[in-house]
Structure 1
């Protein structure tokens, strides 16, 4: 089969690789009909995430048709069914899964011993990501093996297109969780840093959850225009001061809820902290750029909430934690517990409350994937979200 394969930093290729096979009775094989490039994939492309190995198949946002089912998954899945596959692999039996904390499943990471050593305790296995999360083959491919498939799936009702439901596997529930864990109240202002695909879903989730005003921060004109079309007040951080504008919009009090939809590769314009981050990153003195986190801590209203769906990979420096403690800020973060949210979100799609396909700007064949990684990363050609068709 054909698949997108990691060969090193800035080197993803469309290769011919062996077809996946059933390895465990709970497995299923899915023929991928649609997949997408996620912002988190760019961290792998640029090699900011540890634990990648040459030959790894990438991609964690995908869906398709079930073509083979292991003996122990046949009660849950049938050949021919359409499914979206969440990026988090979960067993449904461990203590964390029973609590609905699927992204920290205790059993699905087949490299548990390595994750225990690095993180203190293992997290769930993830598709198409690093060997710290299991090293599972990803879904930017013609076929994929789905472990624990009796749990790790979302069935697609008739009448919905791939594009309407694809993002249930990651960015839609990620944006929703980012907003939901803010405990949004009707008089809240929610500020969101980053208007990429996750930021766009977060904007619409915050509005659906009843925020009084949603403010979106970015510098890319196409992203800002999409955010504004979704109901947000926008701030172009290259044209105006984020701190001054947020104070102006909140009567000097700051937003109650702040969401980091950027993560470890934050950009800023000629700020001292961002220049220091880039220098330290180049010298391997830190792994992640924390400009957005510092700015959120500074502007957030005392007793507010910081929500962090943006991915961080390792170490950051010069974080004003004393400021956060003295302001009494609550931090909520983590990989998304996808299936905790998908029943509700699927109903919202069917009811017409939202059509997540609005975010798609480019649809191309799988073999154009390596080129589109660069287009997406460099924000060329108005690119916000890339969908691939194997």
Structure 2
């Protein structure tokens, strides 16, 4: 089959790879109908080469049609249309019982001391082949393949795999009081959905992003938007009677603008031999912290900062005096996708499409165009906000 594969830092290519097969009785194989490129994929493209191997199949936002099931699969059937949460969980362990599916004790990657396995996401998370391919093996399929209807287009459902529940969790973690104000930093796909979810839940939403097209799309869905030029903290406070938003979702993460020296260090580490680079990343790694520090400074006293953007630095400085003085709460973590599907599926299937699943994608292309689209998405060229591949 054809699949998008990692070849080297900033180099991916579509190659012929072996078809996936049933490895355990609880597996299923799906024919992929749609797969999206995620901002987290760009982290792999630019930075995480030391934890990838040449030929690794990428992608973790996937849906399709079930073609084969193992003898131990009872709920999912051949021919079912399914969307695949990017977190692989068992649904029955201590963590899953508490809605912490991203910490699933059955699929934790003990070799690296990390959380639940993920599709297409490095040795740290199990090195499971991803879904930017013609076919995908789904482990523990009865829990990890969500059966959906057949009448609505793929774009209504595809984002249940990751960015829609990630945004929903981010807003829930922000703990905005009824009628309060939600701040959103970064208006990529997760930030767009976070802003829309905030409006759907009745919050006022104030949001920032440097890209005009992204600000315009968020404004269309009711957010008050600001450029990042000048004093962003002052803009957010001025818009909220000098206090700051009740809760802020940081949907930017480690690759924020600014701190050019940090970016140079990140790239330099990625060019070291893998064992040295891995040791550096897991002991003295640092992130660009402009967005995070903006969230800390802008959130009101007693408010909450919710991290949806990914951070991986193990030596990042933390302004504990400011956080303690302001009594700021912080929530974060990989999305517990399966926990939120029951809340989101009715909204996705609502005739009015209240979260705008059909109003996010700017580029729909075939799989062969994926390498070009990685660069387009990373560089925010051609008005790119979200890319969907159709293998």
For the aligned pair, the TM-score class normalised by the smaller chain equals over 0.9
1:294 and 1:220 mapped to 2: Cα distance? 20
Structure 1 window deviating more from structure 2 (55-64 vs 313-322): it is: 313-322
2:127 and 2:382 mapped to 1: Cα distance? 32
Instruction: Measure how far apart 1:194 and its partner are.
Output: 0.4
1:107-146 equivalent positions in 2, closer than 5 A: 107-109=106-108, 112-116=109-113, 122-146=114-138
Question: Which residue is 1:335 aligned to?
Answer: 334
Question: Which residue is 1:65 aligned to?
Answer: 65
Instruction: Measure how far apart 1:345 and its partner are.
Output: 0.8
1:1-390 equivalent positions in 2, closer than 5 A: 1-48=1-48, 50-73=50-73, 75-109=74-108, 112-116=109-113, 122-211=114-203, 213-238=204-229, 240-268=230-258, 274-282=259-267, 284=269, 286-351=285-350, 352=352, 353-390=354-391
Structure 1 window deviating more from structure 2 (308-317 vs 287-296): it is: 308-317
TM-score (norm 1): 0.93
Q: Is the 8 A contact 1:290 1:319 kept in 2?
A: no
Q: Is the 8 A contact 1:277 1:286 kept in 2?
A: no
TM-score (norm 2): 0.93
Instruction: Measure how far apart 1:214 and its partner are.
Output: 0.5
1:279 and 1:375 mapped to 2: Cα distance? 21
Q: Is the 8 A contact 1:179 1:307 kept in 2?
A: yes
2:389 and 2:264 mapped to 1: Cα distance? 35
Aligned to 1:165, what secondary structure does the other structure show? helix
Residues 114, 322 of structure 1: alpha-carbon distance in 2 compared, 3 angstrom cutoff: farther
Q: What is the aligned residue count? A: 375
2:233 and 2:102 mapped to 1: Cα distance? 33
Instruction: Measure how far apart 1:81 and its partner are.
Output: 0.3
2:356 and 2:263 mapped to 1: Cα distance? 37
1:61 and 1:192 mapped to 2: Cα distance? 22
Aligned to 1:179, what secondary structure does the other structure show? helix
Unpaired runs of 5+ residues, structure 1, are 117-121, 269-273
Residues 50, 192 of structure 1: alpha-carbon distance in 2 compared, 3 angstrom cutoff: farther
Aligned to 1:175, what secondary structure does the other structure show? helix
Instruction: Measure how far apart 1:316 and its partner are.
Output: 4.5
- Computed over aligned residues only, the root mean square deviation of the Cα atoms, in angstroms, reads 1.4
Residues 186, 114 of structure 1: alpha-carbon distance in 2 compared, 3 angstrom cutoff: same
Instruction: Measure how far apart 1:279 and its partner are.
Output: 4.8
Question: Which residue is 2:274 aligned to?
Answer: none
